[in-house]
Amino acid sequence: MTQLQAFHDTLTPMHEIPKQLGAWARALERTRSRSPSSFEQWFSSVQLDGMDANVLRLCAQNEFVRDWVKTHFQPDLVAHLEQSLGAPMRVEWRVSAELDSPLCEPKAHSSRRRRSSAGPTSEPRPSLVSADRERLSAVLNPKHTFANFVVGPSNELAYAAALASAGGGGPRYNPLFIAGGTGLGKTHLMHAIAHKLLEDRPDARVVYVSAEHFTNEFIEALQHHKMDEFRSRYRQQCDLLLLDDIQFLAGREQTQEEFFHTFNALRDADKPIVVTSDKYPQQLQRMPERLVSRFTSGLVADIQVPQLETRVAIVRKKAELEGIPLTDDVAVMLAQTVKSNVRELEGALIRLAAKSSLTGRPVDLAFAQAELARVAPQRPDLVSVEDIQRAVCTHFRMSNAELLSKDRHKSVAFARQVAMYLCRQRLKSSFPELGRAFGNRDHTTVMSAVRRVEELRAKDPQVNAHLEAIEQQLASSGE
Ligand code: ADP
Ligand code: MG
């Protein structure tokens, strides 16, 4: 009945309210009955702010919840409301860490986040720490823990080093630099470090921030003459600094300078620093040498694309966490189909579960195959030169600019030749056409590149492995 109160604040004429409330309650109930466990999980972090003739106003506890509900529940909810009310319905979202009347009670095991976000039941905390703690709770995903991270050969070093940074044993390297492609678990490990440290030492001052956010805060502090506060937060009020996606600092000299001093202050005080990046330190563009050498002074641990066994284990883990019943054959099929990015693998699983709960069909192999074929059909014809260049850049961890540049360094030149070879193979483009697509090179350059890679592929298993990995990536990047 908490939703009733929310209606009082809306401008809807009184006689409309029962009709809307009824429609809302039915839409909500329908969603709940289709997937009771995930309903509780998500809707315990959402509240109804109000509703009028065409607008439904919802509030989520954080952006993560908002995005999830938007993607997985909103379309169905809105369709149902529109059907009942006979009018188009728009949804307006707001985010607030404090919810007065969530749409349902949290599950027992998911209540930790609510407690830790200083809800009514939480312990009183010193006010200085609590503002930062609030901020932290809002950004940390409660599911990104060490226990929920599947370890395999592709990520075991990064996992062990992250655990050690959180005080979980083993030698602690400072800084720890985690490098790896997108969607492979870097942010997950960062959050896991924060969760573990806070569990072991609830008073620890953990700062988790993306490099983009760090930059924005820095600029704001400069503008509002609050540099002392900014420095105190990052240098004195910080027992562990987690800086995500450092590649964002490329070319931002003033922020780099500030971060350099932050880094030194923390390291001198022996406070752990963990940094993630989509490139190895030496490959970071427009990053000053002194920062690069700081990054390499501890441990650089990389995360690679997980092998099939690890992918299967990840799918199983995610299904278990989301309460999705999943047979082994479907788990294997998913892992075989989506190869290069764990985020996409997770996305495929969630889509299957959503579709299954909406249609009432169980997630069996036939259903999964049909769905995956629909959303990610084999579409070699749709691959473009840009797709291939992007896949090659991701694989060799370089920028597109480098790939197309005149740089003749062996590694860059090899990646370029591989890209040309794949374009020729997949697209059957003419040599002059490809020359133009690769920074206006002569067609004879393309011809000899293609021939060279052909020869190498036949005799060098390592080259063949590179090509297979990129081809796999292309095959799974459709959706
Ligand atoms: P990145 O920061 O490297 O781009 P994320 O940490 O955001 O990637 O991971 C993307 C998704 O994949 C997250 O939902 C994360 O939980 C999941 N994920 C990645 N690697 C693993 C793993 N080894 N075990 C479990 N989940 C994983
Ligand atoms: Mg990330």
- The domain spanning residue 400 has which CATH number? 1.10.1750.10
Predicted pLDDT at 6: 42
In the predicted structure, residue 364 carries a pLDDT above the cut 70: yes
> Mean per-residue pLDDT for 180-200?
95
One domain, residues 215 and 329: no
One domain, residues 50 and 177: no
One domain, residues 320 and 183: no
User: How much of the chain, in percent, has pLDDT values that exceed 90?
Assistant: 53
CA proximity to 241, closest of 270, 280, 277, 284: 270
Least confidently predicted of 176-185, 206-215, 367-376: 367-376
Any ligand 1 atom below 6 A from CB of 333? no
For residue 132, tell me if it sits in a domain: no
Predicted pLDDT at 37: 57
Q: Which residues pair with 177 in a beta bridge?
A: 275, 300
Any ligand 1 atom below 6 A from CB of 186? yes
Which residue type, as a one-letter code, is found at position 291? L
Ligand 2: distance of its center to the CA of 133 in Å? 21
Ligand 2: distance of its center to the CA of 474 in Å? 21
- The single residue listed with the structure tokens 């197309």 is 404
Predicted pLDDT at 38: 65
Any ligand 1 atom below 6 A from CB of 154? no
> Mean per-residue pLDDT for 44-67?
85
- Whether the CB-CB separation of 163 and 133 falls below 8 Å is answered with no
Question: What atom of ligand 1 comes closest to residue 182's alpha carbon?
Answer: 4
Q: Could you tell me which residues come within 8 angstroms of residue 15 by beta carbon, excluding any fewer than 6 positions away? A: none
Which residue type, as a one-letter code, is found at position 250? A
For residue 117, tell me if it sits in a domain: no
> Mean per-residue pLDDT for 435-439?
92
One domain, residues 298 and 312: no
Domain count, the chain: 4
Any ligand 1 atom below 6 A from CB of 180? yes
Least confidently predicted of 77-81, 205-209, 213-217, 362-366: 77-81
- The domain spanning residue 346 has which CATH number? 1.10.8.60
Any ligand 1 atom below 6 A from CB of 144? yes
Domain boundary among 375, 393, 426: 375
pLDDT averaged over every residue in the chain: 85
Give the integer Cα–Cα distance in Å for 175 and 258. 17
Name the residue of 195, 343, 397 to mutate for ligand 1: max ligand atoms within 8 A of Cβ.
Answer: 343
For residue 123, tell me if it sits in a domain: no
One domain, residues 354 and 284: no
Predicted pLDDT at 84: 83
One domain, residues 297 and 314: no
For residue 355, tell me if it sits in a domain: yes
For residue 102, tell me if it sits in a domain: no
Residue 381 C-alpha from the chain's centroid: 29
- Residue 134 or 334, more confident: 334
Any ligand 1 atom below 6 A from CB of 188? yes
For residue 120, tell me if it sits in a domain: no
pLDDT digits (tens, 9 = 90+) for 385-415: 998 999 999 999 999 999 999 988 998 999 9
At 374, is the pLDDT very low, low, confident or very high (cuts 50, 70, 90)? confident
Q: Could you tell me which residues come within 8 angstroms of residue 310 by beta carbon, excluding any fewer than 6 positions away? A: 150, 151, 152, 153, 154, 155
One domain, residues 411 and 366: no
Measured at the alpha carbon of residue 68, what is the angle toward residues 64 and 71, in degrees to the nearest 5?
A: 140
Q: Which two tokens stand for residue 278?
A: 């989509």
> Mean per-residue pLDDT for 112-132?
43
Any ligand 1 atom below 6 A from CB of 317? yes
In the predicted structure, residue 25 carries a pLDDT above the cut 60: yes
Give the closest ligand to the alpha carbon of residue 322.
1
At 167, is the pLDDT very low, low, confident or very high (cuts 50, 70, 90)? very high
Any ligand 1 atom below 6 A from CB of 184? yes
For residue 128, tell me if it sits in a domain: no
pLDDT digits (tens, 9 = 90+) for 74-112: 888 888 888 888 888 899 999 888 888 888 876 543 333
Least confidently predicted of 51-60, 152-161, 254-263, 321-330: 51-60
> Mean per-residue pLDDT for 49-74?
84
One domain, residues 173 and 263: yes
Nearest CA to ligand 1 atom 25: 149
Predicted pLDDT at 18: 62
- The single residue listed with the structure tokens 């993560």 is 64
One domain, residues 299 and 313: no
One domain, residues 91 and 219: no
In the predicted structure, residue 162 carries a pLDDT above the cut 70: yes
Task: Give the strand pairing for 206-210 and 55-60.
Answer: unpaired
One domain, residues 218 and 285: yes
Task: List alpha helices for 253-384, DSSP H.
Answer: 253-268, 289-295, 308-322, 328-337, 342-359, 365-375
CA proximity to 102, closest of 51, 60, 69, 57: 60
Give the integer Cα–Cα distance in Å for 138 and 132. 10
> Mean per-residue pLDDT for 360-372?
89
Domain boundary among 321, 345, 375: 375
Name the residue of 341, 342, 350 to mutate for ligand 1: max ligand atoms within 8 A of Cβ.
Answer: 342
- The domain spanning residue 9 has which CATH number? 3.30.300.180
In the predicted structure, residue 382 carries a pLDDT above the cut 70: no
One domain, residues 29 and 52: yes
Predicted pLDDT at 64: 72
Nearest CA to ligand 1 atom 14: 343
Question: What atom of ligand 1 comes closest to residue 345's alpha carbon?
Answer: 12
What residues make up the domain containing 413?
A: 385-477
Any ligand 1 atom below 6 A from CB of 183? yes
For residue 404, tell me if it sits in a domain: yes
In 3-state terms, the chain is what percent helix, strand and coil (to 5)?
60, 10, 30
Nearest CA to ligand 1 atom 27: 185
At 69, is the pLDDT very low, low, confident or very high (cuts 50, 70, 90)? confident
Highest mean pLDDT among 29-43, 218-232, 373-387: 218-232
Domain boundary among 331, 352, 375: 375
